[in-house]
Structure 1
Amino acid sequence: MKLQSTPPIPASDRQSPPAVLTLGPASCDAAILAQLLPVAERFRLNSAHLDPGGLVGWLDRLEALFEAEGRSVPVVVDLQGAKMRIGRFPSIPRLPGRVELVPGDRSERADTIPVPHPGLFRHAAPGDRLFLNDARVELEIERVGDERIGARTVRNGPLEASKGINRAPHPLPFEALSDRDASMIDASIGRPFVEYALSFVRSAQDAGLLRPRLGGHRLIAKLERTEAIAHVREIDAAFDESWLCRGDLGAQAGVGELGPIQRRIATLIPSLRNPCYLAGQVLEHMTHFPEPTRSEVVHLYEVARSGFAGVVLSDETAIGRHVAEVAGFLARAAPEE
């Protein structure tokens, strides 16, 4: 029997979804930025790891890059919103069996975690679960006192400064724009290429707390809490775009629920007015290794064909060891012109 040759895969079927690339210490070099620019639909800056001066420095650097390369892309400034992060804290591989959480910005002790969010100390109760570092660490609150929370370590893992912390099953509400987020907006609002993303969106009403400050700049809703999943259509109508962010959402809903949630969002996409992107360990293997796994490559293909408008890379390009290889992979995965 004569074997038939396999026809070439059409360029449209080789296409990977557009990528939003997060910038950080691993991608601050001018040569690396020049490699990322051709494969980036947009860049992202996580304001949680910057002060206003640092944000201005990044925007100046990118503006110079755009001028030198003759091409510009939007830059998404990611605001914390209701998302909490711990303060300055030693980098440790594991926590003690019991820890205390205290208000403040800094701690030098491994058993004392600083949390600069007064709302946590108002709302926390014994029995609540706290997830840190994308659920790599889980704490159970045992006691709540005056400006001090005692907790037992249920799931142990690494922790370092500025990692996320949230309460399950109900994160704190977004009640007002924080001084920190306001300072980030003030530092960037004058750049016409800037867009904004809001973390831990709960409902369409959250957009109303930001719109008056943004002067027409685009606003993106990050879907990271279970309450938001029940109101996707309303959030879509109030924001300009949405991102399904599987890191914190996995901590809130449970990792086992991510598949059904992603499928549910994919079925809603045709009825949404605005684009929806997928975030969270999209090419996680490339944070540590120069090639993606076969599973990641197949997943990327399926994401593009399930209706998502694109993907958001985080650690892969912000702190990864192989940022140039990520750029090379995205370039190879792009359609031929």
Structure 2
Amino acid sequence: MDYSIVATLGPASSSEETWLAMAEAGATAFRLNTSHLSLDEIDAWMIRLAAFRLKFGIWLPVVLDLQGSKWRLGEFLPFELKEGKLVRIVPATKAQIPDALPVPHADFFRAVRFSAKEILLNDARSILRISSWDEDEVVARVLLGGWIEPRKGITLSGGDFRTEGLCEKDRAILQRIPSEEWIHFAISYIKDAMEMEVYRSLMGEERYLIAKLERKSAVEGAKSISQHADALWLCRGDLGAEQGLPAMAELAYGFEMNLGEFKKPVFVAGQVLEHLTHHTTPTRAEVVALYQAIKAGYAGLVLSDETAIGKNPVEACRAAAMFRSFQPATGSRDG
């Protein structure tokens, strides 16, 4: 079994020396989160990665992670969300307001009424409780504070209302990036097979497409979605933010029990080895979970903060690869 490790690139892993060391440590693909990069920055990364492949003869694919219908904060000066304080969430089209959070998605404001009135930021690292709202502004109280920066994810818990589709930036990326075998695309916040079929039709059969399962409907409809995708990623961060942690665990467990039904590779993502973001070794719980993922039949995993901003991205890749030689357990879960 060739257990794959997708390593996200970022400030901590921006040099070709680090890329080489990560590949030698076990990384089998690199990922760029395009939501955190400008179009020019994406071009610059891709030029450097193409040159790296030729220079060292290391033919790792690169996954460009598209925003899809995922909501993200707009541009603002970073500030601290203080517990107990009120914060305003406003359309990004408004003039910048100090200590307000701009959201460049009109459907977010319409979706509030269908939600549990709780806002989760940056994979639930910060939590807000909505006090009042209309289609032009939301006022919320900070329940769990912390430092907040531009372009972080924003989720409404208990709701599934949003407008599906590629954003303008995603479409621009597809126009600028050539259709080459080593360039893969992951699409965030897929709702169902019908949406994925639209993307396949739009992007063509030649592009390698990954469907990110971050919504309940996507997890439950994963088998149908897989008919239009080359691979699936179970992304537990946004799934947990939208559904709550107990429901996320239940969905992930049920999904994992049926991995043998999929004819496409399935990866697990979301705090796989989160401890390595700030430390040099994983926790025992992470090691056990990693072992269980391999035995369950996952084809690989996706490292995010661990390699993008972590203290030691090379060690994160090495830790992720420690069980590479293991085979999935025999039985119904492997088909």
Per the TM superposition, whether the score is higher than 0.5 is: yes
Give RMSD over aligned pairs: 2.2
| Matching of residue 34 in structure 1 with residue 17 in structure 2 | no
Distance across 2 between alignment mates of 1:310 and 1:95: 38
Q: Is 1:143 the counterpart of 2:132 in the alignment?
A: yes
**How many angstroms does 1:118 deviate by?**
1.5
Query: Which residue does 1:278 correspond to in 2?
Result: 268
1:145-160 maps to which residues of 2 (within 5 A)? 145=134, 147-160=136-149
Structure 2 CA distance for partners of 1:146 and 1:49, relative to 1, 3 Å: same
Equivalent residue in structure 2 for 1:297, among 278, 287, 291: 287
The letter of the residue matching 1:305 is: K
Q: How does 1:239-278 map to 2 (within 5 A)?
A: 239-278=229-268
Question: Does 1:66 find its partner at 2:53?
Answer: yes
Cα deviation for residue 297 of structure 1 reads 1.6
Alignment of 1:324-335 (within 5 A): 324-330=314-320, 333-335=323-325
SS at match of 2:166: coil
Output the CA distance in 2 between the equivalents of 1:209 and 1:173: 16
In structure 1, runs of 5+ residues without a counterpart are 1-11
Determine if contact 1:52/1:184 at 8 Å carries over to the other structure: yes
- The change in CA–CA distance for 1:107 and 1:37 in structure 2 (over 3 A counts) is farther
Distance in 1 (CA, whole Å) between partners of 2:110 and 2:247 is 29
Alpha-carbon separation, structure 2, partners of 1:173 and 1:209: 16
Q: In the alignment, is residue 104 of structure 1 matched against residue 92 of structure 2?
A: yes
Q: 1:76 aligns with which of 63, 71, 80?
A: 63
Name 1:173's counterpart in structure 2: 162
Report the CA distance shift for 1:153/1:190 in structure 2 as closer, same or farther (over 3 A).
same
> Retained in 2: the 8 A contact 1:204–1:239?
no
In 2, the alpha carbon distance for the partners of 1:299 and 1:245 equals 15
Distance in structure 1 (CA, Å) of the matches to 2:300 and 2:209: 16
Identity %: 35
Amino acid in structure 1 at the alignment position of 2:63: V
Distance 1:300 1:162, change over 3 A: same
Tell me, yes or no, if the aligned pair for 1:100 and 1:149 is still in contact at 8 Å: yes
* Alpha-carbon shift at residue 36 of structure 1 (Å): 1.5
TM-aligned CA distance change 1:108 to 1:283, over 3 Å: farther
* Partner Cα separation in structure 2 for residue 36 and residue 122 of structure 1: 43
**Residue 117 of structure 1: aligned partner:** 105
Distance 1:60 1:151 in 2: 42
Instruction: Identify the match of residue 132 of structure 1 among 94, 114, 121.
Output: 121
Counterpart CA distance in 2 for 1:265 and 1:237 is 16
Aligned match of 1:235: 225
Displacement of 1:49:
0.5
Does the CA-based 8 Å contact 1:127-1:142 persist in structure 2? no
* Counterpart residue identity of residue 131, structure 1: L
Aligned with residue 25 of structure 1, among 3, 6, 11: 11
Larger of the two Rg values belongs to structure = 1
Residue 319 of structure 1 corresponds to 309
